[in-house]
Amino acid sequence: MRLNQLTCLLALLAVVGCTQKQKEAPIEQETLSGLKRSNFQSVVNGDSTDLYVLSNANGVEVTLTNYGGRIVSVMVPDKDGNLKDVVLGFDNIDDYVNVNNNFGATIGRYGNRIANGKITVEGVDYQLPKNNFGHTLHGGPEGFDRKVFKAEQINNQTVVFSYLSVDGEANFPGNLDMKVTMTLTDDNAIDLQYEATTDKETVVNLTNHSYFNLSGDGNKTILNDLLTINADAFTPVDRTFMTTGEIAPVEGTPMDFRTATAIGERIDNDYDQLKNGGGYDHNWVLNTNGDITQLAASVYSPETGIALEVYTDEPGVQVYTGNFLDGTVTGKYGAVYGKRNAICLETQKYPDSPNKPDWPSSYLKPGEKYTSRCIYKFLVK
């Protein structure tokens, strides 16, 4: 074989080899939110993490990760038909792991605060780890938000996350076997359905901690958004953010959101509860009586026309206006998350219910099934 023929043959083989490699490693497709699955594929504490994509016929997209059972992005149309990502978060798993946060997380075993980290179950006192002004918040420093869930994608609109919290984890009693089914519905809602069972009496209060910004720009505050809460009362807190045991009327106070009111209209009023909470960081006692067909709360952005409606069978909703965001965290799209740049609407039992027997019970016994449901529905007005 002549030299020039050999050269051509080698060149041809090189082209074929490159083509084969391209077939084996195709270019990764981004999600509508610009997220890449590869940035979420890792191993955390020995368990694999990933990114899951839900989509419906309307072009709405939700992405999830099994690290903390989190909602990562929510792409919904604004009044002009442009898709906006309306939740805060990160574009990679490393930031979720290394930056102290609970963006979009499934919270447990006990969402919100337990006074002094103490509970009594079947006559036995348990001391839980304290992580918030002397109290236990969101299950302690190693709550469900830092666990890797098992994940099963049922179809392009549903993912099931499950987790076994073993007896003694964070010093809670009982093996708690829980799951949350996350479904993107055809009416542009995220339907969260929680279930849990235990082999020993325990307490449980599961919720989701998504940080919503309906402008689609995490650099902006939510103070001009209009908030409505279907509640005649709320549970006041002391200076450590702990509920006092009182149920107080909202009438005549800055806590009255029975009609749509700008979040920032009264947030800095000279009012003891706003001072104690650093803004709104309170549980409202819903008027819905567990009826999930009744509107519990809503938020509306005049800028984008996007509205969020919240429905739940829980008795309360914790409304938190991002008062502790301080501009030190940079999230998706390079947005800097500053004070009051998001609102959280956490459906749940009232804070510290295990220590307040007159409030809706958060105790779960063997043979019983804990269930809870929250629907976040998006629309344009």
Q: How far, in whole angstroms, is CA 19 from its chain's centroid? A: 43
**CA–CA distance, 111 with 317 (Å, rounded to integer):** 11
How far is it, in rounded angstroms, from Cα 278 to Cα 271? Answer: 11
Consecutive H or E run containing 13: helix 3-24
pTM of the model: 0.93
**Out of 209, 282, 309, 314, which one is annotated catalytic?**
209
Nearest to 267 by CA among 339, 163, 365, 203: 339
Q: Tens of pLDDT along 49-92?
A: 999 999 999 999 999 999 999 999 999 999 999 999 999 999 99
The structural domains of the chain, ordered by start, are 78-141+190-380 (2.70.98.10)
Can you tell me whether residue 49 is helix, strand or coil?
strand
Residue 26: its pLDDT value, please? 57
Beta pairing, strands 248-249 & 231-235:
antiparallel
With beta carbons less than 8 A apart as the criterion, state whether 224 and 264 touch: yes
Nearest CA to 378 out of 227, 119, 184 is that of 184
The neighbour count for residue 344, using CB atoms within 10 Å, is: 22
Which amino acid, residue 299?
Answer: V
CA dist 132 and 247 (Å) reads 22
Query: If we measure between CA atoms, which residue out of 64, 55, 130 comes closest to residue 93?
Result: 64
Gyration radius of the chain over CA positions: 23
Q: Round to whole Å and give the CA distance between 366 and 323.
A: 39
pLDDT tens sequence for the chain (381 residues):
444 554 444 444 444 444 444 445 456 778 999 999 999 999 999 999 999 999 999 999 999 999 999 999 999 999 999 999 999 999 999 999 999 999 999 999 999 999 999 999 999 999 999 999 999 999 999 999 999 999 999 999 999 999 999 999 999 999 999 999 999 999 999 999 999 999 999 999 999 999 999 999 999 999 999 999 999 999 999 999 999 999 999 999 999 999 999 999 999 999 999 999 999 999 999 999 999 999 999 999 999 999 999 999 999 999 999 999 999 999 999 999 999 999 999 999 999 999 999 999 999 999 999 999 999 999 999
Taking Cα atoms as reference points, which of 305, 56, 345 lies closest to residue 187?
A: 56
Is 135 catalytic? The answer is: no
Active site residue 346: yes
Q: Exposed (0-12), middle (13-18) or buried (19+): which is 27, by Cβ within 10 Å?
A: exposed
Facing residues of 4 across strands?
none
Burial class from Cβ neighbours inside 10 Å (0-12, 13-18, 19+) for residue 83 reads: middle
CA 341, CA 215: separation in Å to the nearest integer? 10
Q: Could you tell me if residue 90 is left (phi over 0), alpha (psi between -120 and 50 degrees) or otherwise beta?
A: beta
Give the pLDDT score at 16: 45
Which amino acid type is present at position 63?
T
